[in-house]
Chains A and B, each alone.
Chain A
Amino acid sequence: MSVGDTRIAPAAGPGGAGASAPPPRPVGGGRSGGPGGTLGSSQRRIFTVRKGLGLLAFMAPALIFVAVFIYYPLFAGGQMAFRNYNLNNLTDTSWVGLGNFRDILADPVFYTVLRNSVVWVVASLVPQFVIGFALALWLRRRFRFRGVYQALVFFPWAISGFLIGILFRWMFNSEFGVINDLLAKTGLIDQPINWLADPATAMVAVLIANIWYGVTFFAIMILAALQSVPDEMLEAAALDGAGRARTLFSIVIPYISVTLALTVLLRVIWIFNFPDIIYGMTGGGPADRTHIVTTWMIQTTQRGDYGRASALGLIVIAVLLVFTVFYLLAMREKGSKTR
């Protein structure tokens, strides 16, 4: 049956699939599904089967691609976590139970990496949120060239994280980097800082790059949320004599708090999983100081130890899952309290 012959009736509503649908129209040529029943019930059943086939035909390409190239490797990766799977020695791929997990937990680097990941998420997210919020507030009022402005500050998004890492690696260069030069010119430092090689400053440098990159996202999301606040609410607040700060904290922020909380949640997950900038800038060094879980995972994969890398991946998923559940529970609790 070609897709073009398939006619799919629009749904009557949630759960009412086909129940109140008009009788099927004859399909021109080709095979039509099954023997044509004349009884009402079987007719309806054939109709839903055909409708299902039609939907399936439309969905099939997407489902096949996602299943074969995303979900299959994911599940295969999941079981590799419990095996000895090293590209350098594929003769022995036996099951080792929790062996890979035990190795990871016994490795002191893992705890450094875990701590770095938390620093990476929190110290990126808070400034991104604050600057993004301020930008959004200031962008809410119309001004000439606002569209142009938005398109310009949007530009970091067109660049890959990896390349951003490289741009900032060049700017943080200790000898010929522009950042040291500017700091020296303004008199803030007299000695050039060896940003990326010094364990004390490397994390600061990668964080600055990530903050630079992520502010736009918050600005856009928060601006969209702000624009969803009805004008009448703000007018009423103004009539009641509420000042700008009061309006912001008592009216606007409560109104968009759910959107804000969900945006933060998505960002936590995303930043936790975002190795690109670090990979381009420091590769995790010096002395693992900028390694987060995902950059460490890449390094493990590149060494060929797929078993261990997969185990790390499962740990990441578990950590994020637990975090998400607690976060959502806390959100609900807070929501019920204010109500």
Chain B
Amino acid sequence: MIDTETRSARIVRFGFLGLWLLITLFPLYWITVTSFKAPGSIFSRPLTYWPTEFSLENYIGLFAKSQFGVYVLNSIIVSTVAATVATLIALLSGYVLSRFEFRSKGALMTAFFVTQMIPSFIALGPLYLLMTQLDLVDNRFGLILIYIAVCIPFSTIMLRGFFANVPDALEEAAMIDGCSRIGALFRILVPVMKPGIVAAFIFNFVNCWNELFLSVTLMNRDSNKTIPTAINGFISSFNIDWGPMSAAAVLTVIPTMVLFAFASRWIVQGLTAGAVKG
């Protein structure tokens, strides 16, 4: 592994890496090409692999036939608010769990870990009934509350890992200089941990943006639907209209891809920190 690589080994290596890159990117390429075809040529043979014509008809149709603009707006509102609040809350809990020892700490960590393993669908029914009692069914605020709760455990675990990499001395020095604990946290630690916090925020945002089953259960009115819920509505009918569907898929995927590309390094760090050490 440290020795020099033979020429043939090198060819095999880059051949494999290239092939996997192709396989990884192809589905995205294909849905994008589909979305820019004229509706007629999507369903015609032979298939064209390069976009010979560049039609926006599917996108225009998507916004004309459905309230796609509303869905996008709902997704942006719900994901941004939920991810922001969840990240702030996880910042506090992650801080406590990384800096202090107390008797119930192990139990708390377990309680957070366990939420990542149980099938969430067991909670779906009771959650619907709970939201009915709170009069928060079919309500964006209600969905935001649930998304915050869903995001907290993992981002706490992730941020705890990032805090562990920052020495105690930093905030102690600030506190000796008269900073309060919370002041030290926000004025000294947060700037140092910016990459980790951004990664946690993006991770939360993408999870909310993609979430389907909770929003399908809770959101009924068309004006309240998020993008995945709306797409789910598109496929409930037996015949999927693949033109607008491909356009919707592209519009859903692009923002999260861009965000992930920015933060992938830190997200990877956050994910592997716990597993490799544990």
The answer to whether the Cβ of A297 comes within 8 Å of any Cβ in the partner chain is: yes
List B residues 115-134 near A (Cβ within 8 Å). 115, 117-119, 121-127, 129-130
Chain A residues in 8 Å Cβ range of B212: 160, 162, 276, 279
Q: Contact at B27–A59, with CB atoms within 8 Å?
A: no
Chain A residues in 8 Å Cβ range of B235: 166, 280
**How far does the alpha carbon of A215 sit from the alpha carbon of B16 in the complex, in Å?**
14
A-B contact count (CB 8 A): 276
Chain A residues in 8 Å Cβ range of B175: 7
Q: Contact at B181–A54, with CB atoms within 8 Å?
A: yes
Chain A interface size range:
35 or more
Q: Check A273/B119 contact, CB under 8 A, given A66-B111, A167-B249, A176-B45.
A: yes
Chain A residues in 8 Å Cβ range of B123: 70, 73-74, 76-77
Q: Contact at B275–A221, with CB atoms within 8 Å?
A: yes
Query: Which applies to chain A's interface (DSSP): helix, strand, loop or mixed?
Result: helix
Chain B positions 44 through 79: 1 when the CB is less than 8 Å from some CB of chain A, otherwise 0:
111100000000000000000000000000000000
Q: Contact at A69–B145, with CB atoms within 8 Å?
A: yes
**How far does the alpha carbon of A221 sit from the alpha carbon of B182 in the complex, in Å?**
34
Chain B positions 237 through 267: 1 when the CB is less than 8 Å from some CB of chain A, otherwise 0:
0001010011001001100110111001100
The answer to whether the Cβ of B141 comes within 8 Å of any Cβ in the partner chain is: no
**How far does the alpha carbon of A87 sit from the alpha carbon of B232 in the complex, in Å?**
22
Q: Contact at A74–B31, with CB atoms within 8 Å?
A: no
Chain B positions 96 through 124: 1 when the CB is less than 8 Å from some CB of chain A, otherwise 0:
10011111000010011001011101111
Q: Contact at A155–B260, with CB atoms within 8 Å?
A: yes
The answer, among A10, A163, A171, for a CB contact under 8 Å with B30, is A171
Chain A residues in 8 Å Cβ range of B246: 170
The answer to whether the Cβ of B219 comes within 8 Å of any Cβ in the partner chain is: no
Q: Contact at B122–A166, with CB atoms within 8 Å?
A: no
Chain B residues in 8 Å Cβ range of A263: 275
**How far does the alpha carbon of A73 sit from the alpha carbon of B149 in the complex, in Å?**
12
The answer to whether the Cβ of B180 comes within 8 Å of any Cβ in the partner chain is: yes
Q: Contact at B253–A170, with CB atoms within 8 Å?
A: no
Chain A positions 66 through 86: 1 when the CB is less than 8 Å from some CB of chain B, otherwise 0:
101111111011101000010
Chain B residues in 8 Å Cβ range of A152: 21, 24-25
B203 smallest CB distance to A (angstroms)? 10
Find the B residue at minimum CB distance from A219: B20
Q: Check A10/B100 contact, CB under 8 A, given A62-B92, A171-B27.
A: yes
Chain A positions 173 through 191: 1 when the CB is less than 8 Å from some CB of chain B, otherwise 0:
1011010010000000000
Chain A positions 306 through 324: 1 when the CB is less than 8 Å from some CB of chain B, otherwise 0:
1001100110110010000
Q: Check A151/B149 contact, CB under 8 A, given A58-B93, A320-B117.
A: no
Q: Contact at A310–B2, with CB atoms within 8 Å?
A: no
Q: Contact at A231–B182, with CB atoms within 8 Å?
A: no
Q: Contact at A69–B146, with CB atoms within 8 Å?
A: yes
List B residues 1-51 near A (Cβ within 8 Å). 1-3, 5, 13, 16-17, 20-21, 23-25, 27-28, 30-31, 34, 42-47
Q: Check A66/B119 contact, CB under 8 A, given A4-B182, A168-B27.
A: no
The answer, among A68, A150, A157, for a CB contact under 8 Å with B149, is A68
15 more A-B residue pairs beyond the given contacts A11-B102, A167-B30, A279-B212, with a C-beta to C-beta distance below 8 A: A61-B93, A62-B93, A65-B89, A65-B152, A77-B123, A147-B265, A149-B21, A158-B261, A167-B31, A176-B43, A212-B24, A297-B122, A309-B125, A310-B125, A316-B122
Q: Return 8 A-B CB contacts under 8 Å, by A number.
A: A11-B99, A66-B149, A138-B13, A153-B21, A155-B24, A167-B249, A280-B235, A313-B121
Give me the 9 closest cross-chain CB pairs, A-B, nearest first. A313-B122, A160-B210, A306-B125, A69-B149, A76-B126, A73-B123, A62-B93, A224-B272, A158-B260
- B-to-A contact residues, CB < 8 Å: 1-3, 5, 13, 16-17, 20-21, 23-25, 27-28, 30-31, 34, 42-47, 89-90, 92-93, 95-96, 99-103, 108, 111-112, 115, 117-119, 121-127, 129-130, 145-146, 148-150, 152-153, 156, 168, 172, 175, 180-183, 206, 209-213, 217, 228, 231-232, 235, 240, 242, 245-246, 249, 252-253, 256-257, 259-261, 264-265, 268, 271-272, 275-276, 278
- A-to-B contact residues, CB < 8 Å: 3-8, 10-11, 13-17, 52, 54-55, 58-59, 61-63, 65-66, 68-74, 76-78, 80, 85, 87, 131, 134-135, 138-141, 147, 149-160, 162-164, 166-171, 173, 175-176, 178, 181, 212, 215-216, 220-221, 224-225, 228, 231, 234-235, 238, 244, 247-248, 252, 259, 262-263, 266, 269-270, 273, 275-276, 279-280, 294, 297-298, 301, 306, 309-310, 313-314, 316-317, 320
